[in-house]
Structure 1
Amino acid sequence: MSGVQLTSVTKDFGPVRVIYGVDLDIKQGEFCVFVGPSGCGKSTLLRMIAGLEETSDGQIHIEDEDVTDAEPADRGVAMVFQTYALYPHMTVAQNMGFGLKMNRHPKTEISAKVAEASRILKLDPLLDRKPAALSGGQRQRVAIGRAIVRGPKVFLFDEPLSNLDAELRVEMRAEIARLHREIKATMIYVTHDQVEAMTMADKIVVLRAGKVEQVGTPMDLYDDPDNRFVAGFIGSPAMNFVKGQVQDGRVVTKAFGAPLDRQSATLMEGRKVEVGLRPDILQLTDQGDFRIDMAENLGGVTYVHLTAPSGEKLVVQTTHRLDPAGGGTVGVTVDPAHAYFFDAETGQRLR
């Protein structure tokens, strides 16, 4: 059974189209992440699923029920926003159970559901506190608990960790991932942070300018991107790109002296390409013409920022520690088997 299914979904704001015919099938119990740069339409798409934005065309099904024109309260979804939106005069327990109270659920049922959500989120010691006495991470857990007590078919998260500091973001990523494993609910999560997407998702939907660029597991998108945009967006540090051209069946670049030799029917003579190189597949050598601009020593790994003889910028991942200020030159080698080729005009992958 599908948890959420979108069929040719579009969204127009007056004459401006912001979502273009999205087709998507999210399986029941799946953790799906919408990721993309600011303004790509990911939050708009989430709000359409929630019923907070009207669908201009197409259909939305939740657990095989057509909810395209249904009211938000009738869709069986619960949404967790970037802002916690907790009532400051209520305790944690009262905040979590308020929605059920407004819908006139029995007190015993409310208490039982709040207790279960509190157990899952480890909020028991905080139930009598008010939001002002909580940390940012604790407030976000309360907001998630408020969603859990409703027992929705689908959980929707709209950049819920954006207001947290770096350490809390890591902690809450683990909390949400654990929550998904425990309650096995369908979850759709919006973020611009591809690290969140890579570490949490069963399925990632990469969006750009209102269109789906690629859908797949985190490792599918990392290892087998369909185009330059996905290749550059997924992965940290980002993939390097250098310009090249096909000559005598091989790709010649100004950045590297030796041609990249790999057989492919798509590498037609004279074709202009961009070569994608992950930082971790590049190797440093003692002799070469790549200028060291700076080095980021992170302990177990170092990111070395280089300028190639062609003037193009590269980042190389290594375990060696270098002078952070840079200076000097090195060589860089690459195994062509690990290079990605993209059409220079369209950005599409050349396989």
Structure 2
Amino acid sequence: MTGVTLQKTIKRYGETQVIHGIDLEIKDGEFCVFVGPSGCGKSTLLRMIAGLEETSEGHIHIGARDVTRMDPSERGVAMVFQTYALYPHMTVEENMGFGLKMNGVPKAEIARKVHAASDILKLDNYLKRKPKALSGGQRQRVAIGRAIVRGPEVFLFDEPLSNLDAELRVEMRVEIARLHKEIGATMIYVTHDQVEAMTLADKIVVLRAGHIEQVGAPLELYRDPDNRFVAGFIGSPAMNFLNGTVVEGGIDVPGLGRRVTTQVKLPALGSAVVLGVRPEHLVVQMGQGGLKAELSEALGGVSYLHLDTPTGERIIVEERGDDRAAAGDIVDVTFEERRAMVFERDSGLRLR
């Protein structure tokens, strides 16, 4: 197995540039997740690594090889798509071994590799079935198995769980995490779902409009985002943001109706800033304040309380325990000063 390096990588369609000079190193054996909103360029970047999209400028290395102008078949990668792309007239065993068969690999070698992959993916009981007799999760495991038998240097996953229901998505996340641990391959995974990113990745690459916003381990991005975009994208529910103005001794936050003190180095008095606090860091004070609870989403062990502020900004509070607020209650919220983050209003950069 081996790593992947992108150097000043650019992609253009005609005069429209969609990937803007990406520099990125993915280490050998790392599970790297590209995450971001629709249209951010994450699938395009993955397809450039696979060779399915031409690289306009820059270089892509897989290990020591510059693969920028190589055909996909020469790059040593295997890709798993959102759609399973299985041959309906072939059995699971035939689907998994078809690529090797087309390359003239001996039957005994194909059988050995297919059964080894089947054992890893727990597909031994389904090898003689055809795709129509499988569930969505089983079909996706077959598609992953087809990639495994090729023995690639790098596995590429393009939103492979998007077509599965919620329960199967959780199951397949566990399967893919277990697979990575077992075979230790370099894996690059594209998703718009930040929960998948947080639970699977060794390294997350947050993309927006063809640019990298931040790269880091999941908890590093969660705890120490560089800007408002990353802070709002990583974490579920998203971070709460409230407009404020720098005043003597802190930040005046109209949405909370008070001044908030902070140890952050603030800009000049009168500067516009944004205060960010995560839902789990807020504490509800019952029977006081001036925030009205519009909705309480009770999910069992946790509830998400939606509060309206006088400025029209929405606050979400995570509540646990037995004593929880209900829709219609008038409450206040408090939080530890060290939990709050402050961002420049215009640029979105975090103040530290």
TM-score (norm 1): 0.98
- Counterparts of residues 1-351 of structure 1 (less than 5 Å): 3-286=3-286, 287-320=288-321, 326-351=327-352
Q: Give 1:116's aligned amino acid.
A: A
Deviation at 1:306, TM superposition (A): 0.4
What is the distance in 2 between the residues matched to 1:267 and 1:126? Answer: 63
Q: Which runs of 5+ in 1 are unaligned?
A: none
Deviation at 1:323, TM superposition (A): 8.5
Q: Give 2:265's aligned amino acid.
A: A
Range with greater deviation from structure 2 (307-316 or 173-182): 307-316
What is the distance in 1 between the residues matched to 2:180 and 2:270? Answer: 50
Q: Which runs of 5+ in 2 are unaligned?
A: none
Per-residue CA shift, 1:13-49, capped at 9, x if unaligned? 0010000000000000000000000000000000000
Range with greater deviation from structure 2 (70-79 or 322-331): 322-331
Give the match's secondary structure for 2:163.
coil
Give the match's secondary structure for 2:109.
helix
Residues 237 and 321 of structure 1: CA distance in aligned 2, closer, same or farther (over 3 Å): farther
Percent identity (aligned): 65
Deviation at 1:335, TM superposition (A): 1.5
What is the distance in 1 between the residues matched to 2:160 and 2:191? Answer: 8
What is the distance in 1 between the residues matched to 2:302 and 2:219? Answer: 21
What is the distance in 1 between the residues matched to 2:279 and 2:35? Answer: 22
Deviation at 1:83, TM superposition (A): 0.3
What is the distance in 1 between the residues matched to 2:307 and 2:214? Answer: 30
Whether contact under 8 Å (1:249, 1:269) holds in the other structure is no
Give the match's secondary structure for 1:259.
strand
Whether contact under 8 Å (1:2, 1:26) holds in the other structure is no
Deviation at 1:258, TM superposition (A): 3.4
Q: Give 2:339's aligned amino acid.
A: H
Range with greater deviation from structure 2 (232-241 or 308-317): 308-317
Deviation at 1:325, TM superposition (A): 7.1
What is the distance in 1 between the residues matched to 2:264 and 2:91? Answer: 64
Give the match's secondary structure for 1:105.
coil
Whether contact under 8 Å (1:273, 1:343) holds in the other structure is yes
Residues 87 and 230 of structure 1: CA distance in aligned 2, closer, same or farther (over 3 Å): same
Per-residue CA shift, 1:223-253, capped at 9, x if unaligned? 0000000000000000000000110141110
Between Structure 1 and Structure 2, how many residues are aligned? Answer: 351
TM-score (norm 2): 0.97
Residues 143 and 170 of structure 1: CA distance in aligned 2, closer, same or farther (over 3 Å): same
What is the distance in 2 between the residues matched to 1:188 and 1:280? Answer: 30
Deviation at 1:341, TM superposition (A): 0.3
What is the distance in 1 between the residues matched to 2:201 and 2:28? Answer: 14
Considering only aligned residues, what root-mean-square deviation do their CA atoms show, in Å?
1.3
